Structure 1
Amino acid sequence: MPLSISVITSTYKLNYYITGLVRLIQGLCAGCAFPSSHGILANWCPPSERGRMGGFIYTGLYAGPVVGFFFGGFIAKYAGHYSIYYASAILGLIWSLAFVFLVYEKPSEHPTISEEELIYIEKSIAAVQSLYDEKETRSMDRVPWKAILISLPVWAICLAHFARGWTFYLLLTNQPAFLNAFGFGVTENGTLGSVPHIMTVIVALSSGFIADNMRLNLLWSTTNVRKIMTCTGYIIEGTCLIIMCQVTNPYIGIALLSIGVGSSGLMVSGWHLNHQDLAPRYASVLAGFTAVIGTSAGIISPIVAGILTKEQDLIGWRRVFTITSLVLFIASLFYMIFASGELQSWATRTQSEQKI
């Protein structure tokens, strides 16, 4: 996080290429966060509470843009846009210190956890997992890469992650330009730009309770819950984007964008937690693998947007959002057919049984 300050320094003192290098390093470091969080959650989340805990935790991914867009406009207007980097670096440093001193990989390593809570968590996870003794060294396991690479449920997550990466990074990098095409200024850009992400936060927080209720009270299978949460969110989002392509009123456009992007928050209790369903032991490995696919979309979608919106008009943006809708619909169809919420056979093998 403090690398954000380095970006400013390199911009002032050095040149564009050094700035790009620092941003590359920043991205490489940040890329470890998603996989590692899955590994920790697999050890801490009882299956019956996975939706609520996961929904609450991963809401932070979407709360960040809310804070960034909302306050970024005001900071840029009154303190200069470089001040945004300083604010981000300070917040990142505070979070980093808190994470280092407060977070533990396993409940058994936490110094202040009660015995009752420890027993509850370990028994809840063991009842579903029953994979290996706690004393077994996980680092000695051979990752069953062949089984992972030919697993359709894994590729269903990959495609869903790709679709989310496409829309998330598209908006993160191009939303201000899109709002400019609608005629909004800097302050309005920051305020209105935060609305879709506020909706995502609200829906994501609610989705965890909805998903757990569907599993516990309605007795729906984990597979069906993951499919419904993911596909419903993506289909609503894609539909709103298509309708948005036909409107010219800027406020109706923002409303549709907010509903669409907000509905995608349902996937926080869908594919976002699916890695832990398929293979708790390899949750961090799967998360890292799917993150590569998802992040690649974040490289492609801004390039596509840049090519199609050279004129910075609404016609170009309509093309961009039409393509985005197709990506969401294709990902939804593939996920609906091939996704699974069940523990995979290749994730239950002991070390001696694993074969690449």
Structure 2
Amino acid sequence: MPSCKERFLAIFPRRLQVIFMLFLGLLIIFGMRTEIGLALLKMNQNLLNVTFFIPAHNDSSSAVKEYLLKEHLVPNHARIKSLITIRHGGSIEARVTFQTIRWSSLMIGFIEAGFFMGYLVCSIPSGVIANLTSGHRLLGIVWMIICALNMLIPLVAIGGEDRQGRLLEDGHPNISFALIFIIRILQGMGESVVYPCVHEMLRWWAPQNEKARLVSLCFFGVFSGPIFGYPLSGLLIWRHGWESPFYFFGAIGLFWGIVWLATISAKPSKDCFITEEEKTFIREPAEKRTQNICDIPWRSIFTSLPVWAIVAANFARNWLYQFTFTGLPQFLNDVQKHEQRLAHNASTATGLTPAELGNYMLIPYACMAFLTLIGGVVSDLVISKNLLNVGHTRKLINTLGYGITLSCLTILCLIHSFVATLILLSLALGCIGFGTSAYAVNQLDIAPAYAGIIMGISNGIATFAGVFSTMIAQRLVHHGSRAIQGWIHFLILTIAIQLFCLLIFLIFASGEQQQWAKVPTEIQVEELEPAPLTTDPKKME
């Protein structure tokens, strides 16, 4: 009779446990990315309704501001942006809009881009390190460092609270800005390790006939992170302040890192929980791990057209996807304000709260997560049924996904309804996920031994997309009644980039292992006991 362990492994094989842990880790990391966009909105647009008594002869705006600061109803270091007062007999009702952190739009743009700058610096070295060392251990350690840095952000930004719960005034806004900028760069440098290490793990744990499915399941966490992250961050900010998501995601990320290092092994042959049957089924790749950086075929990698096809697809995806973490909340907010102005024929509008934004942001990412899984299943089905070869399958899935995205973005330039915008954005991002299931596994097709390195190169170059899309959007969009025109210009630029990258992948992508990617195999020689010596002529024949 099989033991409990054997029954559990039959239902939930060890390879699925590893993939599930990778899924959870990516969910936490990408859920963590959602906090910064909502937190920045909250820092710079706090609303306060308060009623208090003030002498009738002293109800000027300056007197009201002085009272708010004296009673610590507004933080000492905050900047009051607008103040509306209404007198009711001997009391005053005040509606105040204030900035918690005194950062300019340029400072906020740098904080948003700082992550991508750090990512860019270390992306290629990270791919090499993941290939030369144990991606498993590196992944766990770096993950924990990223989460610890995340918990430092609110402490550095506001400097804590006093015993009465009142905010302390920080020294100068430029000091907190500089420290946050450095932390964001360090977080980007750390996250540059994640994708190469994940691909290094997938290289050992994903069998050939389940590759696209398991890769899609693993990267389902990338798109599921925002599904949980946006509504959860919005709720935490609404209930406990903008600092709370940083502590929450940091804490659960640290816990994940401890569990990962304690329970997961780098490859099946080193795992103490896997069954022999599953170990045989997985069939570890026979290629030796590269031992020297000089052994890596750098020239062949950088001159390979299929590699550049992967880079192009990744660049197009990053341009739109990375922008969503910081720019999409502001875009949806501006569309809602524009619709309110048109409906009420007014010059001002309130927009959306962080909690509302968090709930609305869930929808596009839910579509992306769902269609990413569908893309992986469809790819495996087409290949297993011999309907198309691997290369043509990857091109078909990528073209369908990116092509529909282009159509949605084009229509988005022509309409400004909030509901229609949300529907089109959801479909556009969902189809980006569908197309991602093609290029994300393609480096394992063309160069399995160097998949981590190619992913590092691809992510490094594609990081420019994240940096440029964030900063260009900040440059093009002028907040206020003219914001929508700026967003239209940004969408037109996005359409051109998506179309160009789609054509590059369609023309140059491949599904065959490249000649330069074939490395010597490890031949295991079984040691045999020496046969006893004999002098019998018959036995010697």
TM-score normalised per structure 2: 0.61
- Counterparts of 1:68 and 1:155, CA distance in 2: 32
Instruction: Please list, as runs of the form range in 1=range in 2, the aligned pairs for 1:207-222 lying within 5 A after superposition.
Output: 207-222=375-390
Which position in structure 2 is the counterpart of 1:93?
A: 254
Instruction: Please list, as runs of the form range in 1=range in 2, the aligned pairs for 1:65-144 lying within 5 A after superposition.
Output: 65-122=226-283, 126=285, 132=287, 136-140=288-292, 142-144=295-297
- Counterparts of 2:255 and 2:374, CA distance in 1: 27
- 1:180 equivalent in alignment to 2:337: no
Deviation at 1:90, TM superposition (A): 1.5
Which position in structure 1 is the counterpart of 2:464?
A: 296
Contact 1:166 1:298 in 2 (8 A): yes
**Match for residue 55 of structure 1 among 199, 216, 238:** 216
Which position in structure 1 is the counterpart of 2:419?
A: 251
> What does the per-residue CA deviation read over 1:290-340, in whole Å, with 9 as the maximum and x for residues that have no partner?
110111211110011011102352111111111111111111100000001
* Structure 1 residue runs of 4 or more that deviate by more than 4 Å after TM superposition: none
Which position in structure 1 is the counterpart of 2:475?
A: 307
- Counterparts of 1:69 and 1:137, CA distance in 2: 39
**Match for residue 3 of structure 1 among 149, 155, 158:** 149
- 1:344 equivalent in alignment to 2:514: yes
Deviation at 1:101, TM superposition (A): 2.1
Deviates more, 1:291-300 or 1:178-187: 178-187
Contact 1:199 1:258 in 2 (8 A): yes
Deviation at 1:69, TM superposition (A): 1.1
Deviation at 1:137, TM superposition (A): 4.8
**Match for residue 365 of structure 2 among 178, 194, 197:** 197
- Counterparts of 2:299 and 2:235, CA distance in 1: 50
Which position in structure 2 is the counterpart of 1:225?
A: 393
Which position in structure 1 is the counterpart of 2:190?
A: 29
Structure having the larger proportion of residues in helix: 1
Deviation at 1:230, TM superposition (A): 1.4
Which position in structure 2 is the counterpart of 1:333?
A: 503
Give 2:501's aligned amino acid: A
> What does the per-residue CA deviation read over 1:88-123, in whole Å, with 9 as the maximum and x for residues that have no partner?
11221122122222332211111111111111111x
Instruction: Name the SS of the counterpart of 2:327 in structure 1.
Output: helix
Which position in structure 2 is the counterpart of 1:354?
A: none
- Counterparts of 2:418 and 2:254, CA distance in 1: 38
Contact 1:208 1:268 in 2 (8 A): no
Give 1:26's aligned amino acid: Q
- Which runs of 5 or more residues in structure 1 are unaligned? 352-356
Contact 2:237 2:245 in 1 (8 A): yes
Contact 1:58 1:268 in 2 (8 A): no
- Counterparts of 1:344 and 1:137, CA distance in 2: 17
- Counterparts of 1:157 and 1:314, CA distance in 2: 33
Larger radius of gyration: 2
Which position in structure 1 is the counterpart of 2:177?
A: 16
Structure having the larger proportion of residues in strand: 2
**Match for residue 155 of structure 1 among 308, 325, 334:** 308
Higher relative contact order, chain-length normalized (CA < 8 Å, sep 6+) = 1
- Which runs of 5 or more residues in structure 2 are unaligned? 1-146, 160-174, 337-350, 522-541
Which position in structure 1 is the counterpart of 2:27?
A: none
Instruction: Name the SS of the counterpart of 1:59 in structure 2.
Output: helix
Root-mean-square deviation (Å) = 1.5
Deviates more, 1:257-266 or 1:217-226: 217-226
Deviation at 1:157, TM superposition (A): 0.5
Aligned residues: 342
Deviation at 1:156, TM superposition (A): 0.5
